[in-house]
């Protein structure tokens, strides 16, 4: 991997210029590592990726402890990887051991550094926009690029499943989900796709919206007919109307069929996400009914 202009190898002789003096301008992170250190190999790329994402707002200096033992001793490095942050010419923070990327992000952000979007985050943003515009071909292509970048990424797999569902290819979506291990299937990032699969499967009992409407019109008090109509509507993406019917069922009989309408609403919320307009409005209406 070619190092960027913000990442460099250094040593005892250059430490003053590369770290202490440089930290007068921007924070400098010092990574003490060694070629034989397994955790160092895990942490190093994470540090480099996030320093690059900061676009010059922070620098990374890498010190091989085998070649700079006196410097490591001066900074009381007892085990590696050992990471120090310098700011204003002084050490201000640090940690030992390999941390997950989320904690590395927090460590860097605590230095007052804004980390830009990672390549994966940029891909996901592009895919979401494409999906919102109905461009499923582009969205699916971008999710596959994300999987090339990080094989097994759960968010990308979930995105592919949702793309297939939106393309009315429920069978392929279900097969993809079924091919995943239970760990992947139950990952929080898969929750929306899993819920969407559930809705699609239930809607598969009937794809005739007009027939379902006629059944309700023939017997307006039949809660099962209303529930079937809601399922069909949710299956074809008419989420607002489907949610309204489920809310009407709950208002008429909160415990109908072992709380089926409320459970269906919660599945819809998971499929759409917490910030979706339908989720926000329906959740508010649900609270009003339950706590009235």
Is the confidence at residue 62, as pLDDT, over 60?
yes
- Residue 114 maps to a domain: no
Q: Where are the beta strands (DSSP E) in the chain?
A: 7-10, 28-33, 59-64, 82-87, 90-96
Q: Domain end: 90, 109, 128, which one?
A: 109
Do 97 and 184 belong to one domain?
Answer: no
- Residue pair 278/268 in contact (Cβ under 8 Å)? The answer is yes
CA 42 to chain centre: 21
pLDDT over threshold 80, residue 118: no
Would residue 2 count as lying in a domain? no
Active centre residues (catalytic): 37, 40
Mean pLDDT of 44-58: 89
Domain endpoint, select from 174, 201, 228: 201
For residue 235, pLDDT beyond 80: yes
Say how far residue 16 (Cα) sits from the centre of its chain.
40
> For residue 258, what are the CA distances in angstroms to 49, 96, 141, 255, 268?
50, 52, 41, 6, 17
The per-residue pLDDT for 207 is: 56
Residues 46 and 90 reside in one and the same domain: yes
Higher pLDDT, 102 or 260: 260
Instruction: Write down the pTM of the prediction.
Output: 0.60
Answer whether residue 115 shows pLDDT above 80. no
Distance CA 252, CA 30 (A): 64
197 in a domain, yes or no?
A: yes
Domain holding 166: CATH number? 1.25.40.10
Where residue 204 falls among pLDDT bands split at 50, 70, 90?
A: low
How many structural domains is the chain composed of? 3
Q: In terms of domains, do 229 and 255 share one? A: yes
Residues 238 and 283 in one domain: yes
Domain housing 245: 209-290
The answer on 80 and 158 residing in a single domain is no
92 and 128 assigned to the same domain:
no
């Amino acid at each position: 991997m070619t190092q960027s202009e913000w990442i460099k190898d250094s040593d005892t002789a250059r430490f003053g210029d590369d770290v202490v003096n440089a930290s007068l301008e921007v924070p400098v992170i010092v990574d003490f590592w060694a070629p034989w250190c397994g955790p160092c190999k895990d942490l190093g790329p994470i540090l480099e990726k996030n320093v690059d994402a900061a676009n010059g707002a922070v620098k990374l200096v890498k010190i091989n402890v085998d070649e700079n033992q006196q410097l490591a001793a001066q900074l009381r490095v007892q085990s590696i990887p050992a990471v120090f942050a310098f700011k204003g010419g002084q050490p201000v923070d640090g940690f030992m051991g390999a941390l997950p990327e989320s904690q590395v992000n927090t460590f860097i952000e605590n230095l007052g550094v804004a980390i830009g979007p990672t390549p994966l985050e940029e891909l996901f943003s592009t895919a979401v926009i494409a999906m919102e515009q109905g461009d499923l071909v582009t969205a699916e292509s971008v999710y596959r690029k994300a999987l090339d970048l990080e094989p097994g990424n759960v968010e990308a797999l979930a995105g592919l499943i949702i793309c297939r569902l939106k393309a009315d290819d429920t069978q392929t979506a279900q097969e993809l989900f079924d091919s995943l291990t239970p760990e992947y299937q139950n990952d929080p990032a898969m929750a929306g796709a899993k819920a969407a699969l559930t809705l699609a499967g239930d809607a598969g009992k009937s794809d005739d919206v007009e027939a379902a409407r006629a059944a309700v019109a023939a017997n307006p008090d039949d809660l099962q007919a209303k529930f079937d109509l809601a399922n069909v509507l949710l299956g074809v993406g008419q989420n607002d109307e489907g949610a309204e019917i489920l809310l009407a069922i709950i208002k008429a009989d909160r415990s109908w069929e072992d709380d089926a309408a409320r459970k269906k609403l919660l599945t819809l919320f998971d499929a759409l996400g917490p910030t979706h307009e339908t989720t926000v409005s329906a959740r508010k209406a649900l609270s009003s009914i339950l706590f009235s």
